[in-house]
Structure 1
């Protein structure tokens, strides 16, 4: 029977690190070292669970993979140039440290130096996705750019993992080129599995059977198979739902991966020093991202926020080194060094990401010279026109409000949304909608006079976005009325403190809408509304 402390101890450490504002995976890494230090050295059952976590991570990446987004210059160019330059600079730095006499570095061959430099070139997908989702920024230009760069990095890692197997694939591997022909069959199955446990089972089966197992059978890395299967399913309407249904499983299994790192043994003093020395590369990594992204015409604010999101070392670095150690290319001590380096980078990156907006405002004037003159097509100034009503966030709530208000205000309504596909859909349906990120301070700096606007409706799905927008409206001395949506009483209170006159609870409003339609249906609406208790 498994020792319950194997669950309780990582949980307690994860809660502890989150209390002080750090990602829980730092707690899992520390728990692995602590369990080893407590004498629990052999946990072989963790290995297959950890492998499954990595496979599901790659399968989920494939499900979200939009090849069109990877074709954008700032994504493929930024990822390729950053990793190439980092490989060269980090490689030279590591060799220099070896020449200075640092024992761990001086023992590295050229091949090992390049492997270590390659592992240091990745940014954490898990960390970035969590940060972007908490901010509600995953669909902003900087969020999409950061995610695209991370996917490109992950693809580079998969290529390495496949090559590190050290064996030529079977001639039958060419048969895998026929997998896209089976996509209609996979789609039909996905249509029929519903939305519950069968959907989860379908995802696990696809990642492990035609994905990992089939690719391993023909001599290819199973990780590549999981990624390819995710990619084949990415175009299905339920791909996003499938990814969300597997999310908790993936996160749970990845805990086992982080725990197995600790099973490599407690770090020595020299390994701790090596990790701290490698941390000196982190400022260079961030500065390089900022420089490259501004050269790809992203505004300073977009490039800065993407840099904070990507300015860390990655769990994929651990995966790369694990594969190198399994192939006999690296000493196991470097896995402990890399684990410490990743942990230290998260400790620095977490507060920077949390306070990213404030940090940007503090440094904006000093960095303004980096602002490109010729801006990205999605960074152009927004022309508001002459609206009387502005709706920020054109999802289901915003579009419903737009259609109802049109009866009173006609065409003098403007919708604002940060998703290009959402803007295109609304334009095709006859609504006046422009693309803009209301959580971007520079967005408000570029606005024309808002004196003609009588009403601003904040209908974004995330409270943080509505709250920030209300703050910005205060700063520009907005004279019109403000209404917003919320989910919880504490959100409504925070919005009222920021000058929002009307706050609508989306759950209560949905219930009222159902009741109104039912009364209309039964013909009793007038009687019910006028009835006395």
Structure 2
């Protein structure tokens, strides 16, 4: 039976991929399809889902700058949006109840507020999965979205304590000792090397954090997140997160499949489900205006609100508690489960085109943008002739080689402000900027730039940036990198002038450099 599950999950994920949809849409449909056909879920399916969520929260923690959580756009944005949504959501649901819609009609105000509260959370799993696929976790809107999700997780912990009466143990105060213990944990990671021990120690820390918090009557998933936060500034934090990437994604397939097994609708549920799905749009619009009021940059509030426009798996937990306590009818668990799944599909499809949508709508978005302070590092590309986008390992080495030959005509662009500052401290001319941002290109002269090199592995990002460049009137050359030959062909057909398969080129460069050894030997012999 296990092989059948794997084949069905693969087939549905593969089909979604061919339709240019994220594979998670296929996994969701696979779960609902098998449920509808009467297939019994595997005994360990929920365990796999829980493992995936725990690892995901741990890796989120590894990528978060803890101080960023104290920015008003994050803590105030999450708080104001949740509070205002519960109020507005309850009023909207009451309005539909007055129309005589089944399951809404006759509900009390507290019951309506509980439903709105369950729908106030956004999905950590869905959002992080999409951000990672597009390599946007460290972009401004990515950090904004993840920060809001973390604040929502804190609210979730408070709710669980209040609703279940599960008071944290007195030993929970001992968790403050984790702060000095992080240096011990960091030393262990350093000694683990770069092989199979590294992901193993990551898994041990993620589940260790889960069990430790669970033991003191705190939400176990919060423990995995906290352990990740403790190690977020470690020099091997990024490498540790990358080593867990495949494990996390594999286990999360179990989560998306399990959503489909939560419930199946009846005909009577279609109308309230349509209502819940419709007001999702209003939830996204409200978040956009909350972020605007808090003076978030226009692009960040547009993309951030778009990717957070979904319902959360935590809504199922809230609904289950309410049903168990007799506050809601059991049918609401089914309705909310289906609404969560529909919202996942909605976000997955629309966020795929989010950057292009912003390019066309940025004038409208700017209308709502409050006055912004001058960015910490904004510089025109005055002397640049070669521009390298993405200063990771490939971009950094390309910059250094070209700088030796062309000098100050070579500039770099990096979206991560911390990483950009490190490059500048080392003497590289690197500016902060998100190349997928239409505003970045709109405010810069490009006529003197002869070559733009896109040193990033994501095909989607390369296509987005190429589109932005063409819309900005750039007439120079565009070069990019690719990991596989089919990606190389795809990018060339899209309009990129030259694409290097860096696995092949690495071998070529290695051979050329090594030939110098033979040439030196000949000189000695002569």
TM over 0.5: yes
Cα RMSD after superposing both structures? 3.3
Q: Residue 164 of structure 2 aligns to a residue in which SS? A: coil
Flag the 1:43–1:427 CA change in 2: closer, same or farther, 3 A.
Answer: closer
1:14·1:27 contact (CA, 8 Å) conserved in 2?
yes
Look up the match of 1:131. Answer: 130
Which of these residues, 387, 392, 403, is aligned with residue 390 of structure 1?
A: 387
125-134 or 74-83, larger mean C-alpha shift = 125-134
Look up the match of 2:370. Answer: 372
Q: Deviation string for 1:212-257 (max 9, x for gaps)?
A: 3333333333333333333333333333333333334334444444
1:470·1:495 contact (CA, 8 Å) conserved in 2?
no
Query: Displacement of 1:478 after TM fit?
Result: 4.1
Matches of 2:487 and 2:358 in 1, distance apart?
25
387-396 or 369-378, larger mean C-alpha shift = 369-378
Look up the match of 2:418. Answer: 421
Look up the match of 2:67. Answer: 68
Query: Displacement of 1:90 after TM fit?
Result: 1.1
Matches of 1:263 and 1:482 in 2, distance apart?
47
Look up the match of 2:164. Answer: 165
Flag the 1:314–1:468 CA change in 2: closer, same or farther, 3 A.
Answer: same
Q: Deviation string for 1:336-390 (max 9, x for gaps)?
A: 2112112222333333212223333443444442243335636x86422233333
Which of these residues, 504, 510, 521, is aligned with residue 506 of structure 2?
A: 510
Flag the 1:254–1:512 CA change in 2: closer, same or farther, 3 A.
Answer: closer
Q: Residue 370 of structure 2 aligns to a residue in which SS? A: coil
Flag the 1:486–1:60 CA change in 2: closer, same or farther, 3 A.
Answer: closer
2:259·2:341 contact (CA, 8 Å) conserved in 1?
no
Look up the match of 1:531. Answer: none
Look up the match of 2:440. Answer: 443
- For residues 77-476 of structure 1, the aligned pairs below 5 Å read 77-106=76-105, 108-209=107-208, 211-322=209-320, 324-325=322-323, 330-375=328-373, 377=375, 382-448=379-445, 450-476=446-472
Q: Which runs of 5+ in 2 are unaligned?
A: none
Q: Residue 219 of structure 1 aligns to a residue in which SS? A: coil
Matches of 2:322 and 2:111 in 1, distance apart?
9
1:471·1:498 contact (CA, 8 Å) conserved in 2?
no
Matches of 1:265 and 1:451 in 2, distance apart?
57
Matches of 1:464 and 1:35 in 2, distance apart?
31
Flag the 1:525–1:91 CA change in 2: closer, same or farther, 3 A.
Answer: farther
2:482·2:499 contact (CA, 8 Å) conserved in 1?
yes
Query: Displacement of 1:327 after TM fit?
Result: 6.2
Q: Residue 385 of structure 1 aligns to a residue in which SS? A: coil
Q: Which runs of 5+ in 1 are unaligned?
A: 528-533
Flag the 1:188–1:371 CA change in 2: closer, same or farther, 3 A.
Answer: closer
Query: Displacement of 1:79 after TM fit?
Result: 1.8
1:451·1:479 contact (CA, 8 Å) conserved in 2?
yes
2:144·2:300 contact (CA, 8 Å) conserved in 1?
no
Query: Displacement of 1:120 after TM fit?
Result: 1.0
Q: Residue 383 of structure 1 aligns to a residue in which SS? A: coil
Matches of 1:277 and 1:377 in 2, distance apart?
41
Matches of 2:32 and 2:482 in 1, distance apart?
42
Q: Deviation string for 1:307-343 (max 9, x for gaps)?
A: 2222222223234434555666554432221121122
- For residues 25-36 of structure 1, the aligned pairs below 5 Å read 25-36=24-35
1:389·1:413 contact (CA, 8 Å) conserved in 2?
yes
1:390·1:456 contact (CA, 8 Å) conserved in 2?
yes
Look up the match of 2:51. Answer: 52
Query: Displacement of 1:40 after TM fit?
Result: 4.3
Q: TM-score, normalised by structure 1?
A: 0.86
Look up the match of 1:519. Answer: 515
Q: TM-score, normalised by structure 2?
A: 0.87
Q: Deviation string for 1:286-322 (max 9, x for gaps)?
A: 2122223333434433322222222222223234434
Query: Displacement of 1:33 after TM fit?
Result: 4.2
Q: Deviation string for 1:472-491 (max 9, x for gaps)?
A: 44455545554443334455
Matches of 1:338 and 1:510 in 2, distance apart?
50
Matches of 1:475 and 1:339 in 2, distance apart?
41
Query: Displacement of 1:4 after TM fit?
Result: 4.3
Flag the 1:466–1:345 CA change in 2: closer, same or farther, 3 A.
Answer: closer
- For residues 522-533 of structure 1, the aligned pairs below 5 Å read 522-524=518-520
1:70·1:76 contact (CA, 8 Å) conserved in 2?
yes
